[in-house]
């Protein structure tokens, strides 16, 4: 008996064919022979068009010459339609009626190789070698024959895939061709997402989380060494909600001048943009026009703008750019303002601290005194120190931060300590900050610094109340004391803040025990008590004041109240806030009521007048021993009672009379105003305080010391400006001061001209303007006729002409000099309707010499000011042409 074994043997056919061997056992055996024959055959074969192809099939390892019915035959198999399969040969004989094939059978061998004489497209397919050992024992070996073919894609067009941000995507690339092509991906002009780099070798490109910048042109390359690589192109479009960028979030302009607000929007699909003013959509008008155009340069988005032809007071305010597409909506706001005086919007608190000991170290950052102001034109900054100008430009360790007025002080010393004040100014005014004091912090010092050791050994009686004091701490800013347990572990030290029902620290740093237990013994429980101090400058940098080792001993009187249930300690006060307490409004206030006793007393709080404590502002901590008043109000004053009870004896009560003092606080913050010329303006800085408040007003940094009832009126917290003009434009500040402190506020006043353009006027106003133009043309015609008929015009004739046309009320007195100056009271209407037309007529050939001039005193737009025209003595030409 022998077992049948199949072996795959590849025979190259001129191109890339390599021999490989694989064995597979067949459980069938041939009776009487124990040898193990092997059947070898070619692997998959690829050949070029016209090649002579040879595929092998042979039996090795056994002599089958004595085996009856042994044969080796070849067939071509149609896998899809088996009935179309057909035999080709048996042993060395071709049984198919065709000259396409022949069989190569070397003598003395058991190899039967099928030869395809000339490779063609129809010769591709599966060929089967069947080895027949007789008695229905057969082995089939299938060999696939392919026609060599360059890589190709069935679809050669560019595909577009649209995904949304946050999606995941898998792009499959399956090219045709023989041998099987290798596939790799490229993203044109960019790195591949997720994988990075220029190329990625795989049939499948996976992007697990789509981002906006993943859009682009992706190319799948297929290459098998035959011809040029084939390509398949994919355009990846990424949908994402609109993203708005405002090139200028705050636009400044002048009255009656044009202005433009811009809104750049990225998004796909291309977003639609709508503009709003005060929540009303802007649909367009003669004065407001919108324009939207798509971006260029491969960007998916639009540039949208809103232009205002002539800005008036009604146009100022907040505008909204709203962009939407099918993915989402985005909104951003732009503020349109006129040129405005400076306004301080950010500054440091009233004290800025620095550590003198760290000054000069390599990693120490400069100290910053903040000062930032709004306003347009952009404010310029200057500083004073102790009331004197600070020349920071001339000092290497002083500088101003870019785009702000922040003062940077590198490596400060004691010489830098003092009061600093910032001033921001532009063409329209000056704003001043609150004074800021630069102060160095000091090292914390303790009252026991002269002691030989900061470690102390104390004893406390079991079951009895106890007070453990901390050395007094001094420094600037004022230190705060706290207690911790330092618990020693095998490999580390653990610090745990003391917080127990029996143990409470008071605001002065003493630690109170309602009664002592064995848990307080430091040696027995493996810890130490440590009193530490820190300051608000570095709240997490602690200095050690003392280390306490506490031993618990039996009571000296022999009464073990903690051990005997019949013995207890009645509750009694150990530390309270005092009978009378004054607290400040506006901040957090604490009232203390620490009682001792055994068991530990429970403490509750109430008001003596029965008013319920508002749980939103009143709470307790330290197990009820501290009453917390959040955002203290003036009406929080009154008598508060703490009640302590431990069911031993009667409950104990302690009354605390609380008074609330309030430093000046503005009822409402001052607000900037933009008004038209001639408007009455009122600024208010009403401050609440429990004591009298005095008010000081400043304009552009200068104290307003006098008042003009006809124009500017001071009334404590109110400043009224009547008939506002451009000279009133600037920064107004109010300082409300009392013995308890002060509060400082400021606002900017912007004044706009009254002039209105036609697009803002009514039809009736347009008719009046048209009639004025008609009258002016008629006047010009009359003047030209008179001058054309009489060139020899005297000054008297000019006066008569003026009176006749009712243009200008010239003086009846003949000038004594060579020039005549005429002035008239009035505003811009007089200027534009009378002086300008006459001057223009004279200079356009009527005969006034070229050096006549007009000048104005003060503001030509104000009805309070005079307008004057100076006309030199003229030499009139003899004819109109000579003028």
Give pLDDT < 50 ranges for the chain: 1-34, 757-762, 806-883
Predicted local distance difference test score (pLDDT) of residue 795: 52
Place of tokens 């200068």: 702
- Structure confidence at residue 826 (pLDDT): 39
Greatest distance between any 2 Cα atoms in the chain: 157
Calculated CA dihedral for residues 822, 825, 830, 835, nearest 10 degrees: 10
HSE at residue 789, side-chain half, CA atoms within 13 A, is 6
Its pTM stands at 0.60
Q: How far apart are CA 89 and CA 103, in angstroms?
A: 7
Q: What is the DSSP string of 257-305?
A: S-EEEEEEEEEESPPEEEEEETTEE----SSEEEEEEE--SS--EEEEE
Cα(687)–Cα(353) distance, integer angstroms: 29
Distance CA 805, CA 486 (A): 103
**Model confidence over 654-712: pLDDT tens digits?**
999 999 999 999 999 999 998 888 999 999 999 999 999 999 999 998 999 877 777 88
Residue 755 confidence (pLDDT) = 58
CA-nearest of 212, 293, 279, 343 to 729 is 343
Inter-helix orientation angle 795-805/763-789, to 10°: 150
The CA angle 8-9-12, to the nearest 5 degrees, is 140
Q: By C-alpha distance, which of 173, 162, 288 is closest to 219? A: 173
Neighbours of 878 (CB within 10 A): 9
Alpha-helical (H) ranges within 680-835 are 763-789, 795-805, 828-830
pLDDT at 818: 43
Answer for the pair 76, 127: CB distance below 8 angstroms, yes or no.
yes
Which tens digits make up the pLDDT trace of 542-574? 999 999 999 999 999 988 888 887 788 899 999
Q: Which of 547, 470, 458, 478 is nearest to 508 (CA)?
A: 470
Distances 587 to 434, 583, 622, 652 between C-alpha atoms, Å: 21, 9, 20, 30
Residue with tokens 């098998």: 224
- Give long-range contacts, CB 8 A cutoff, 24+ apart: 205-210: 205/170, 205/171, 205/173, 206/168, 206/169, 206/170, 206/171, 207/168, 207/169, 207/170, 208/168, 209/166, 209/168, 210/163, 210/164, 210/165, 210/166, 210/167, 210/168, 210/169, 210/238
Per the CB < 8 A criterion, the answer to whether 367 and 352 are in contact is yes
Tokens 């025209």 sit at which residue? 869
Which domains are seen in the chain, by residue range?
A: 2-147 (2.60.40.10), 152-239 (2.60.40.10), 246-338 (2.60.40.10), 341-440 (2.60.40.10), 442-565 (2.60.40.10), 568-661 (2.60.40.10), 665-752 (2.60.40.10), 761-882 (no CATH)
Q: Closest by alpha carbon to 160, among 199, 208, 218?
A: 218
Distance separating alpha carbons of residues 810 and 833, to the nearest angstrom: 16
Q: What is the pLDDT of residue 37?
A: 72
Q: Report phi then psi at 766, rounded to 5.
A: -65, -40
Structural contact between residues 605 and 613, judged by C-beta atoms closer than 8 angstroms: yes
Listing DSSP states for 370-398 in one string gives -EEEEEESPPEEEEEETTEE--GGG-TTE
DSSP sequence for 512-543 = EESS--GGG-HHHHTEEEEEEEEETTEEEEEE
Give strand pairing partners of 440.
Answer: 354
Give the per-residue pLDDT at 35: 57
- pLDDT for position 629: 96
Task: Give me the DSSP letters along 67-90.
Answer: -TT-EEEEEEE-SS-GGG-EEEEE
Element (H, E) at 355: strand 351-355
Tokens read off for 201? 């070798």
Residue 509: is it exposed, middle or buried by C-beta count within 10 angstroms (0-12/13-18/19+)?
buried
User: Closest Cα partner for 874 from 866, 883, 865, 862?
Assistant: 883
């Amino acid at each position: 008996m022998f077992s049948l074994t199949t072996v795959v043997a590849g025979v190259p056919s001129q191109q890339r064919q390599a021999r490989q061997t694989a064995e597979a056992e067949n459980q069938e055996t041939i009776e009487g022979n124990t040898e193990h024959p092997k059947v070898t055959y070619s692997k998959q074969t690829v050949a070029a068009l016209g090649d002579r192809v040879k595929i092998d099939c042979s039996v090795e390892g056994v002599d089958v010459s004595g085996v009856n019915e042994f044969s080796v035959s070849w067939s071509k198999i149609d896998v899809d339609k088996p009935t179309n399969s057909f035999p080709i040969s048996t042993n060395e004989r071709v049984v198919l009626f065709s000259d396409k094939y022949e069989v190569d059978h070397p003598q003395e061998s058991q190899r039967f190789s099928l030869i395809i004489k000339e490779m063609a497209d129809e010769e591709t397919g599966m060929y089967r070698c069947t080895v027949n050992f007789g008695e229905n024992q057969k082995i089939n070996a299938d060999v696939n024959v392919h026609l060599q073919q360059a890589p190709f894609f069935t679809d050669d067009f560019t595909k577009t895939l649209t995904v949304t941000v946050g999606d995941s995507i898998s792009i499959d690339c399956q090219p045709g061709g023989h041998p099987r092509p290798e596939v790799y991906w490229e993203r044109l002009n960019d790195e591949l997402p997720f994988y990075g780099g220029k190329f990625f070798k795989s049939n499948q490109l996976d992007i697990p989380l789509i981002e906006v910048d993943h859009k682009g042109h992706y190319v799948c390359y297929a290459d098998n060494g035959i011809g040029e690589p084939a390509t398949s192109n994919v355009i990846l479009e990424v949908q994402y909600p609109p993203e708005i960028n405002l090139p200028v979030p705050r636009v400044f302009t002048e009255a009656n001048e044009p202005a433009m607000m811009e809104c750049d929007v990225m998004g796909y699909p291309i977003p639609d943009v709508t503009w709003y003013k005060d929540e009303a959509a802007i649909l367009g008008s003669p004065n407001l026009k919108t324009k939207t155009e798509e971006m260029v340069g491969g960007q998916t988005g639009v540039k949208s703008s809103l232009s205002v032809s002539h800005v008036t007071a009604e146009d100022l305010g907040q505008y909204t750019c709203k962009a939407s597409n099918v993915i989402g909506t985005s909104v951003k706001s732009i503020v349109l303002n006129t040129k405005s005086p400076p306004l301080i919007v950010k500054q440091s608190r009233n004290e800025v601290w620095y550590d003198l000991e760290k000054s000069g170290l390599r990693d120490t950052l400069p100290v910053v005194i903040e000062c930032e102001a709004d306003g347009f034109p952009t404010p310029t900054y200057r500083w004073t120190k102790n009331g004197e100008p600070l020349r920071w430009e001339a000092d290497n360790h002083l500088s101003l931060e870019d785009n702000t007025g922040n003062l940077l002080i590198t490596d400060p010393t004691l010489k830098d300590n003092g009061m600093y004040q910032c001033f921001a100014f532009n063409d329209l005014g000056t704003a001043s900050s609150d004074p800021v004091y630069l102060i160095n912090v000091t090292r914390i010092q303790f009252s026991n610094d002269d002691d030989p050791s900061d470690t102390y050994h104390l004893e406390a009686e079991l079951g009895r109340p106890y007070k453990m004091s901390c050395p007094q701490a001094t420094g600037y800013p004022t230190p705060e004391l706290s207690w911790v347990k330092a618990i020693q572990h095998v490999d580390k030290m653990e610090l745990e803040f003391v917080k127990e029902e029996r143990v409470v620290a008071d605001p002065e740093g003493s630690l109170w025990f309602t009664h002592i237990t064995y848990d307080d013994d430091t040696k027995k429980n493996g810890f130490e008590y440590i009193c530490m101090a820190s300051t608000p400058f570095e709240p997490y940098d602690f200095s050690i004041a003392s280390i306490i080792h506490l031993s618990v001993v039996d009571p000296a009187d022999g009464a073990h109240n903690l051990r005997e249930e019949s013995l207890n300690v009645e509750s009694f006060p150990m530390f309270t806030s005092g009978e009378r307490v004054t607290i400040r409004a506006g901040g957090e206030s604490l009232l203390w009521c620490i009682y001792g006793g055994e068991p530990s007393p429970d403490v509750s709080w109430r008001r003596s007048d029965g008013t319920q404590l508002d749980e939103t502002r009143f709470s307790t901590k330290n197990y009820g021993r501290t009453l917390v008043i959040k955002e203290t109000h003036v009406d929080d004053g009154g008598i508060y009672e703490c009640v302590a009870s431990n069911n031993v004896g009667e409950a104990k009560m302690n009354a605390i009379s609380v008074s609330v003092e309030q430093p000046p606080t503005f009822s409402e913050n001052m607000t900037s105003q933009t008004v038209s010329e001639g408007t009455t303006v009122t600024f208010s800085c009403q401050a609440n305080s429990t004591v009298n408040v005095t008010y000081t007003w400043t304009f552009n940094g200068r104290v307003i010391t006098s008042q003009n009832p006809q124009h500017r009126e001071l009334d404590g917290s109110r400043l009224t400006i009547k008939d506002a003009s451009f000279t009133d434009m600037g920064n107004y500040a109010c300082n409300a001061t009392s013995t308890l402190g002060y509060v400082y506020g400021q606002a900017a006043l912007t004044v706009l001209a009254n002039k209105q353009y036609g697009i803002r006027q009514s039809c009736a106003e347009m008719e009046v303007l048209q009639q004025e133009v008609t009258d002016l043309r008629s006047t010009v015609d009359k003047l030209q006729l008179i001058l054309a008929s009489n060139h020899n015009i005297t000054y008297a004739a000019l006066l008569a002409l003026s009176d006749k046309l009712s243009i200008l009320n010239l003086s009846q007195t003949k000038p004594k000099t060579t020039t005549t100056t005429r002035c008239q009271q009035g505003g811009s209407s007089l200027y534009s309707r009378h002086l300008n037309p006459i001057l223009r007529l004279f200079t356009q050939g009527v005969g006034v010499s070229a050096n006549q001039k007009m000048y104005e005193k003060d503001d030509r737009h104000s009805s309070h000011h005079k307008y004057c025209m100076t006309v030199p003595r003229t030499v009139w030409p003899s004819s109109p042409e000579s003028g």
